[in-house]
Structures are given as structure tokens and as C-alpha cells.
Amino acid sequence: MELVSLSCNQCGAPLRVPGAARFVTCNHCGAQLQVQRGDSAAWTEVVERLQEGQESVDRRLAAIEVENEIARLDRAWDREREGYQVTTKHGGRQDPSATASIVGFVAVTIVGLIMVGGIGTAGGGPIMFVPFVIIGAAGIAMLNSISKAKQMADGKQRYQRKRRDLLRKLEDLRGASE
């Protein structure tokens, strides 16, 4: 059996190790060592340090995975949010607002009632029902917008809760690596 002369990476004591050995314990300090071999040299590394290094790499990798999950969550929320948005009268997009919907409905109702009064004083007829149709359509639009605003608020709450949990997880991973 061929023996290789090495030094303990922990205390520097000389070691005589079988040529095929991968791990050895130093008889002088008791350190657990891994035998490393290159093309022209062999040396030892303390196993605990290797494990600490691997654990550090594992924590950093887990942190990167959580960061990627946060980015995916943010992109998913942006897409979901766009689905809730309503088109403005100028063609832009905005988040739905229950308050704005109610104010708009009240304004349309007032204008519609003024129209009914004007049509009534002009003699009425079948055109008298047009303002009521307009008010009804405004009521349906208001209910739709209020529903969208509620759905968006619920979706945003879910998103924020998930994001907060992921940020805590990321903070824990980063705190453990320091």
C-alpha cells in the first residue's frame, strides 16, 4: 500500500495517508480532513470548513430562488392588475374605484332626471323612457366597477401577503448567512 505524506490543514502535523484515502483524522488535533488531489499535488482541507462553505452556498442559492419567486409574483400581479383596470373616457387605463363609480352614477342620475323633467314639460311621449335607460345603464356600469374594485382589492391583499411572506423568508436566509 502506497502512503502519501501530507500535513494537517488544521494544526500542520505531518500525516501518512494511504494513496486512495479520501478522508482522514489527524492523530495530533483530531480534525476531520478531506484529502484533495490535483495533477501534481495533494493536500488536506478541514471537513467542517467545507461543510460551512457548502451551507453558505446553499443559503445564497435559496435566497436567489426566493428573489426569483418575488420577481415572478410581481410580474403575475402586474398582469392580474391589468385585468381589473377600467378604460377611461380618454382611452387610458386606471384602477377601478367604487367611490368614482358612485359619483358617476349620481351625476348621470341627476342629468337623467333633469332630462325627464325637460321631456315631460315638452309633452313627453315615448322618448320619456330614454333617460331611464341611460340611468339603468349607468347603474349597471357602477355595479360592475364596484365589483371590479372589490376583486382588485382582494387580489392586491393576496399579492401583498404572499410578497410579505417571501420577503420575511429572504430576510431569514440573509440573516442566517451573516
Same domain, 43 and 102: no
For position 32, what pLDDT does the model report?
84
Reported as a pLDDT band with limits 50, 70 and 90, residue 117 is confident
Same domain, 41 and 90: no
Reported as a pLDDT band with limits 50, 70 and 90, residue 170 is very high
Same domain, 34 and 93: no
CATH number reported for the structural domain that contains residue 16 in this entry: 2.20.28
Same domain, 90 and 143: yes
Same domain, 90 and 47: no
What whole-number percentage of the chain has pLDDT above 70? 94
Helix or strand (DSSP H, E) at 172: helix 130-177
> How many domains does the chain fold into?
2
Answer yes or no: are the C-beta atoms of 36 and 22 closer than 8 Å.
Answer: no
More confident residue, 136 or 10: 136
Residue 26 lies in a domain: yes
pTM, two decimals, is: 0.58
Quickly count: other Cβ atoms within 10 Å of residue 173's Cβ. 19
DSSP 44: E
Residue 160 lies in a domain: no
Residue 143 has pLDDT above 90, yes or no: yes
Residue 75 lies in a domain: no
Reported as a pLDDT band with limits 50, 70 and 90, residue 51 is low
Instruction: For 59-85, write each residue's pLDDT tens digit.
Output: 889 999 999 999 999 999 999 999 998
Domain span including residue 127 = 86-153
Distance (Å, whole) CA 138 – CA 104: 8
Best-predicted range by mean pLDDT (35-39, 42-46, 167-171, 173-177): 167-171
Residue 76 lies in a domain: no
Residue 170 lies in a domain: no
Residue 18 lies in a domain: yes
Residue 123 lies in a domain: yes
Neighbouring residues of 11: CB distance < 8 A, sequence distance ≥ 6: 26, 28, 29, 31
Residue 37 lies in a domain: yes
